[in-house]
Amino acid sequence: GRKDYKSFVDAAQMILEQRQDVTFVAIGDGECLDEIKNQIRSEFKNYFRMPGKRQELPPEQIPHLLEPRSLSI
């Protein structure tokens, strides 16, 4: 199925309005990547990590992107 990154970014920004002790990670790319990045409000850009396609990111490095108290979906 298609991933709904717009809702992911919307929800993440709602959380960031309440707390800033979180980081959001989206792995992958696609035709909408620039649109999704542009959707992120400037004050929240430092709270998002978008490392690109999985082929560019070895699976063993994914845990290093996540903090000990992370939730991945």
5-60 residue pLDDT tens: 889 999 999 999 999 999 898 877 778 888 899 999 999 999 998 877 766 666 67
> How many Å apart are CA 16 and CA 1, to the nearest integer?
27
Strands (E), the chain: 24-27, 48-52
- pLDDT value for 50: 84
3-state secondary structure of 33: helix
pLDDT band at 4 (very low <50, low <70, confident <90, very high): confident
pTM assigned to the model: 0.71
